[in-house]
Amino acid sequence: ILLPDAMRSEQLNMKTNGYTEWYTGVVVGGPAQDAPGECRTSYDVMADIADKFGVKDQFTEGKTQEDWIRELYEAGAEKDSEMPSWDEIVKQGVYKRELPTAIGLKDFRDDPEANPLATPSGKIEIYSERLADIAATWELEEDESINPIPVFTPGFQGYGSVNDEYPLYCTGFHHKSRTHSSFGFIPELEQVARQQLWINPADAESRGIVSGDMLSVKSPAGEIRIEAKVTSRIVPGTVGIPQGAWHKADMFGDKVDEGGCVNTLTTYKPTPLAKGNGNAHSMIVQVAKA
C-alpha cells in the first residue's frame, strides 16, 4: 500500500457548496491529470486494507469510487426535480441556483409549544440545567470548568498563564500560502509567503530582534526555529505563527523543529466537555534569537 493518495484534481470527485442544509450548488468533475507514479485514490487504498481484513465486499459493496459518486449524486437528485441528470452534471461540471432567504427557527418562533427545540425545556436556553447537572456530578480537574451559562474561561495556558520563563502569548493563524498543511512542501510558495513569526516592535526591540532574524521559540511542549517578522500589526505581549508548516525535527536528537510548525508548541489537553484541544490557539512561549 503506497501513500500518499491521489489529489482531488487527479480523480473524479464531487463536492457541494454550502453548509448543513443550505446548499447552493454541486460540482462534479475530474480528473484533470493522472496521479503520478503509483499513487492511487484513498478509496482504493481503503479497499485494499478491507481486503486484508477479509471484508472488502462489505466495504465496497462491489462498487468503484466512481460508482459511489454517481449513486450518491443520483440519490440526491431523485429527491430534487431541478437537479441535472448524472450525464448532464458530468458534462457541465457545475450546477448552482439562487438560495432563497429563510428565517432561522421560524416554526419555533411561530408556535414554540407545537414546535419545541431539542433541549430539555424545548426552549432557547440561556441557563442549561443539563450542563449544571454535568458540572455538579462529573469529576473535573482543578483547572477545568463546565458552566451552565456562557462565561469567560481562560482555559489551559490561556489568559493569565504567562510567567518569567514563558512571557508571551502565542496563537496560530491561517496562512495565504497553504490550506492548513496542504501545499506546505512547495518551495515557490514558501518564497513568496515565508513562514514567519509576527512580533510587535516593543517585544522585538527588548530582545534585539529585527525582521529576518532566525528565532528560537520555546513553549512547555517544544521548540521551533522560525524567521522573525517585526510588525505593529500584532498586539504587544503576543506573537503569531502561521499554522500548517510541516514538522522537520530529529526526534532521536534535539527534537528542535526547523520547519516552524506551530503544533510543536502545543500541549495536548482536551477540554472537559467537548474534548477539543483548547490550547491550539492559546500557548505561552519565549522568543529569542537563535
Query: What is the per-residue pLDDT across 195-204, written as a single tens digit (0 to 9) for each?
Result: 999 999 999 9
Three cell numbers at 86? 448524472
pLDDT of residue 276: 83
Q: Using one digit for the tens of pLDDT, what is the confidence trace for 232-273?
A: 999 999 999 999 999 999 999 999 999 999 999 998 888 899
Task: Give tens-digit pLDDT for 126-163.
Answer: 999 999 999 999 999 988 889 999 999 888 888 899 99
What's the rounded mean pLDDT across residues 4-28?
84
Q: What digits encode the pLDDT tens for the residues 172-199?
A: 999 998 999 999 999 999 899 999 999 9
Helix, strand or coil, per DSSP, at residue 203? helix
C-alpha cell at 78: 431523485
* AA letter at 143: D
DSSP character at residue 115: S
The Cα–Cα gap between 277 and 243 comes to: 15
Spatial neighbors of 68 by CB under 8 A, at least 6 apart, are: 43
Q: 87: pLDDT confidence band, cut at 50, 70 and 90? A: very high
Q: Domains of the chain, with CATH numbers?
A: 8-96 (no CATH), 103-153 (no CATH), 168-289 (2.40.40.20)
**Residue 115: closest CA among 105, 128, 102, 126:** 105
Strand 94-96's sheet: what is its strand order?
A: 13-19, 22-29, 94-96
